[in-house]
């Protein structure tokens, strides 16, 4: 009989309703219902729309996950849920659902940190995390460098975005170029036909005093503005905009900074393993350049498959299973949904 913990994870921090079920470090199912199409006409995620979509999708997605995994709710050993950070209303839907399940089933509940879950999900793909691991998390809301001695209790921030996150910059530049929302996949696709050295866009916080003060921090606001102005100048002059070249050059500027700082952080901390997670980790150029630079530096690179990089319930279940396996005390039933939950608080 398998004695590994069977954990159900719930993720509702933004616009995906994710339900994941794992047994130990084995993924049984990863069910996701996305409301991205409902946000596309607004050019970004609308919190109230996201919250309502979670309410509508929660029960059907939960039922689908159990059916596909061949698991009954009574078989679950624990419930894990994203407690933060994220959109307050969206988080509340997931936390309320998790509490109801925990009470109804008489099972422990673990409120987990969304960012730590993005790190823990790689256990499902590549096995136990080396301790310590360096984690580069890049998404629409976060660009973070984290030293992770223990994903269940010791996550140390080394750097973060001071303005626009990488994914946010992708969305805004896509809008400038007339590409659909969300911008990341479309820029990645168009950039494959472009010249990534055609335009020398700026690399924020990589030189002089900025590098001294913000060694492992990120800034993409200036890059976004530079792209917008470059396009405006061309349009004002009546010239066509080479969308593929702009997309490729912009993308190269982003991934150059991300990978350069991640490798530098590994060297600085004496860490031999780099994990890249978050939605932008699905970007093909980021993966390729990270592999090149890690190979040259003698660093082992871990990147989950694209489906596990975006927000999902599997990552929450994976972290919850780590808590259970290590005997961590469950969260209290009055655990809050904390939209600004710091990454140093791995568990609510």
Give, as one character, the DSSP assignment of residue 194.
Answer: S
Residue 114 labelled as part of a binding site: yes
Instruction: State the Cα–Cα distance between residues 180 and 201, nearest whole angstrom.
Output: 22
Instruction: State the Cα–Cα distance between residues 54 and 92, nearest whole angstrom.
Output: 10
Give, as one character, the DSSP assignment of residue 144.
Answer: E
- Torsion (CA) 23, 67, 75, 309 in degrees, nearest 10: 30
For the chain, the 3-state helix, strand and coil shares in percent, each to the nearest 5, are: 45, 20, 35
Residue 212 labelled as part of a binding site: no
Residue 283 labelled as part of a binding site: yes
Residue 211 labelled as part of a binding site: no
* Residue 205: both structure tokens together: 């916080």
Alpha-carbon distance values, 120 to 82, 126, 127, 250, 322 (Å) = 13, 10, 10, 30, 8
Closest CA to 185 of 177, 174, 194: 174
Burial of 46 (0-12, 13-18, 19+ CB in 10 A): middle
Residue 311 labelled as part of a binding site: yes
Residue 138 labelled as part of a binding site: yes
Residue 89 labelled as part of a binding site: no
Residue 338 labelled as part of a binding site: no
- Helical H runs in the chain? 36-40, 47-69, 88-105, 114-120, 123-126, 166-176, 183-191, 208-213, 221-236, 243-269, 284-297, 306-309, 313-325
Residue 312 labelled as part of a binding site: no
Residues making up the annotated binding site are: 114, 118, 137-141, 171, 184, 188, 283, 311
Q: Which residues belong to the annotated binding site for substrate?
A: 137-141, 171, 184, 188, 283
Q: Which residues define the annotated binding site for Fe cation? A: 114, 118, 311
């Amino acid at each position: 009989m398998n004695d590994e913990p069977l954990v159900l994870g719930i993720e509702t921090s933004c616009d995906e309703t994710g339900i994941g079920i794992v047994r130990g470090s084995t993924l049984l199912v990863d069910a996701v219902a996305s409301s991205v199409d409902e946000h596309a006409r607004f050019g970004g995620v609308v919190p109230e729309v996201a919250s309502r979509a979670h309410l509508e999708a929660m029960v059907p997605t939960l039922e689908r996950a159990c059916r596909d995994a061949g698991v009954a709710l009574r078989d679950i050993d624990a419930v894990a849920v994203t407690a933060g950070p994220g959109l307050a209303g969206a988080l509340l839907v997931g936390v309320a659902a998790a509490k109801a399940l925990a009470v109804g089933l008489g099972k422990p509940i673990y409120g987990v940190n969304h960012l730590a879950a993005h790190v823990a999900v790689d256990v499902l793909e590549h096995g136990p995390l080396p301790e310590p691991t360096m984690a580069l998390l890049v998404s629409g809301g976060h660009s973070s460098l984290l030293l992770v001695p223990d994903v269940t209790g010791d996550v140390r921030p080394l750097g973060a975005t001071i303005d626009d996150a990488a994914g946010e910059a992708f969305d805004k530049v896509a809008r400038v170029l007339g590409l659909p929302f969300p911008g990341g996949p479309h820029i990645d696709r168009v950039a494959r036909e472009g010249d990534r050295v055609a335009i020398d866009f700026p690399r924020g916080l990589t030189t002089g005093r900025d590098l001294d003060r913000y060694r492992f921090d990120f800034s993409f606001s200036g890059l976004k503005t530079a792209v917008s102005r470059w396009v405006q100048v061309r349009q004002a002059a009546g010239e066509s905009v080479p969308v593929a070249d702009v997309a490729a050059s912009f993308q190269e500027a982003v991934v150059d900074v991300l990978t350069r700082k991640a490798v530098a952080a590994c060297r600085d901390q004496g860490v031999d393993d780099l994990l890249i997670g978050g939605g932008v980790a699905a970007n093909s150029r980021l993966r390729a350049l990270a592999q090149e630079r890690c190979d040259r530096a003698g660093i082992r690179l871990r990147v989950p498959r694209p489906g596990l990089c975006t927000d999902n319930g599997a990552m929450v279940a994976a972290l919850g299973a780590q808590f259970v396996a290590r005997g961590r005390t469950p969260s209290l039933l009055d655990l809050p949904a904390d939209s600004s939950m710091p990454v140093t608080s791995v568990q609510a």
